[in-house]
Amino acid sequence: MLTGKHLIAGDWTPNDQTFASSPAHGLSHDFSVGTPAHVAAACEAAEAAFPIYAAKTRAERATFLNRIADEIEARGAEITEIGTQETGLPAARLEGERGRTTMQLRLFASHILQDDWLDRRHDAALPDRQPAPRPDLKLIQRPIGPVAVFGASNFPLAFSTAGGDTASALAAGCPVVVKGHSAHPGTGEIVAQAIDAAIKATGMPAGTFSLIQGGKRDVGEALVQHPLIKAVGFTGSLAGGRALFNLCAARPEPIPFFGELGSVNPMFLLPAALANRGEAIAKGWAGSLTLGAGQFCTNPGIAVVIDGSEADTFVTAAKAAVGAVGPQTMLTDGIAEAYRHGRDRVAAGNGVRPVLSTTSDRRNATPYLFEVSGSDWLNDHALAEEVFGPLGLIVRVRHAAEMQDIARSLQGQLTCTLHLDDADLDLAKALMPILERKAGRVLANGFPTGVEVVDAQVHGGPYPASTNFGATSVGTMSIRRWLRPVAYQNMPDALLPQDWA
């Protein structure tokens, strides 16, 4: 049952002012509006919980994470029901995302029972060293303190209340304050109920987790500027993320802002692959481009091809495959409106020609395809900006050298993809040093939608794909965002952290 309240340190806290959810279908519900006062209470509770929670053994934190997963699974039907209503996503997508969410929690529970993430290092004392003795030095990673997490609009489970940011921060030993996304407040509350139940069942301090719903811009600003918050995890728009990043940097004590802000995820179709498999690649691209109404940060929005008859075949096949996709419900009215603005911006670009035109209205999205020459694309930087939805732009270049120019001109990306056959290896070798500087993940002969949650994953990239190119928001390495190295010099064993043993 929904309460419509905030969860602050174990208490379901109301507010006289409420907002109504805007579901794609089904009933609307009222939720309390968050305020800076709610933020302050949650942050103070998180700070009070930090020394207690951080001192819990890794086994105790692992038990807690697994219990959260159990509690989410016990509420699976309820989550799917309200999640489909709020977002318009199909039940199968929500169920799959719920499985990914619980898998992430269990993955981190397993990960912290290992030792490598602690990065323990020891330089033993050399008392007889000349001209001066060397002290004993031990290094280990320690949790940084309370973490703020912003829920994402496009992943109501895997990147929201108990998503990857929350799971990795809790695994590291950091309490979490979540700013829930107003697109799916009911889904967020039910997941928060699961976390609250896990806190009570495992004896964790109440301030280990809080959820604040709704609120205007001042709530998000108050959260990132609160002096007790030591780092921020964010998945969302470039404009919103950059504004919060600037606030974090302007604090009297600047803190890291780990923002994942999206990208256009270009694909480069090399000549032999285009000639041999152009139609198959076009069909695969259509499936990836329109998956989930294109509402993925790894949506491959740009395909770069060398102009010619093979490019014509690719465009024709892509038009047929994309054109077979019907209207899909977008996550919010605002996202649908932004998609139409993005479509109009691309359509108005210099030299842009329509390949497939449809009609999108209200909260529905239909796919679009456009094409443009490489030279016109290079001269219009707006064409390299993300359109959040099922819109593809085919860039026709004159030759391999211009394809490399396209690659060099790119801003930071989450992904870049090469479609290549054996005969394309020389060109691929020329592109690789460029692309690996542009993206956190470089693919061969695949499509970037679908991000494996594993040890070797990188979901991040140079700005503006993310605000910290050395981090990832997916995979076990994401725990590093919430840790800092501490060296202990000549420290008695009794005073070392228990994880040193």
For residue range 441-497, list pLDDT tens digits in order.
Answer: 999 999 999 999 999 999 999 999 999 988 999 999 999 999 999 999 999 999 999
pTM attached to this predicted model: 0.96
Q: In this predicted structure, what is the pLDDT of residue 496?
A: 97
User: What was the pLDDT predicted at 262?
Assistant: 83
The strand pair at 302-306 and 391-397 is best described as parallel
Q: Rounded distance, CA 93 to CA 79, Å?
A: 12
Q: Residue 109: helix, strand or coil by DSSP?
A: helix
- State the alpha helices, DSSP H only, in 203-258: 217-225, 238-250
Q: Closest Cα partner for 479 from 114, 186, 50?
A: 114
Q: Out of 43, 174, 248, 297, pick the active-site residue.
A: 297
Q: Catalytic: 43?
A: no
d(CA 219, CA 221): 5
What is the rounded distance in angstroms from the CA atom of residue 158 to the CA atom of residue 167? 10
Residues of the chain with pLDDT under 70: none
Residue 137 to residue 56: CA distance in whole angstroms: 24
CA distances from 362 to 327, 334, 359, 366 (A): 11, 10, 10, 11
CA atoms of 300 and 439, how far apart (whole Å): 13
Residues in the chain: 501
Helical pair 185-202 and 58-74, crossing angle rounded to 10 deg = 140
Q: 421: burial class by Cβ within 10 Å (0-12, 13-18, 19+)?
A: middle
* Annotated catalytic residue 385: no
Bridge partners (DSSP) of residue 7 are: 12, 211
Q: b/e string for 290-318 if b means 16 or more Cβ within 10 A? A: bbbbbbbbbbbbbbbbbbeebbeebbebb
Distance CA(75)–CA(6), nearest Å, equals: 19
Residues pairing with 416 in the sheet? 442
Tokens of 187: 């889904």
What lies within 8 Å, CB to CB, of 454 at 6+ separation is 475, 476
- Residue the block writes with tokens 């590093």: 480
Give all strands (DSSP E) within 227-350, no chain letters.
Answer: 231-235, 257-260, 267-269, 302-306, 328-329
Q: How many angstroms separate the CA atoms of 237 and 228, rounded?
A: 25
For 369, the 3-state DSSP assignment is strand
Q: What is the pLDDT of residue 216?
A: 85
Segment holding 212, helix H or strand E: strand 209-212
Q: Give dist(CA 285, CA 320) in Å, integer.
A: 12
Cβ-in-10-Å burial (0-12, 13-18, 19+) of 376 comes to middle
Q: Does residue 247 contact residue 226 with C-beta atoms inside 8 Å?
A: no
One-letter identity of residue 348: A
pLDDT at position 215, please?
85
Q: Take residue 309 and report the two structure tokens written for it.
A: 């008859």
Q: Residue 1's pLDDT is what?
A: 86
Residue 148 CA to residue 180 CA, distance in Å, equals 11
Catalytic residue among 260, 310, 371, 386: 260
- Whether residue 459 contacts residue 474, with contact meaning beta carbons closer than 8 Å, is answered with yes
Cα distance between residue 406 and residue 395, in whole Å:
9
Cα-based torsion angle of the residue sequence 79, 111, 166, 187 in order, rounded to the nearest 10 degrees: 0
User: Which residues make Cβ contacts (< 8 Å) with residue 428, sequence separation at least 6?
Assistant: 270, 418, 420, 444
Contact of 163 with 155, CB cutoff 8 Å: yes
Tens digits of residue pLDDT in 33-57: 999 999 999 999 999 999 999 999 9
Cα dihedral 339, 295, 349, 310, rounded to 10, equals -140
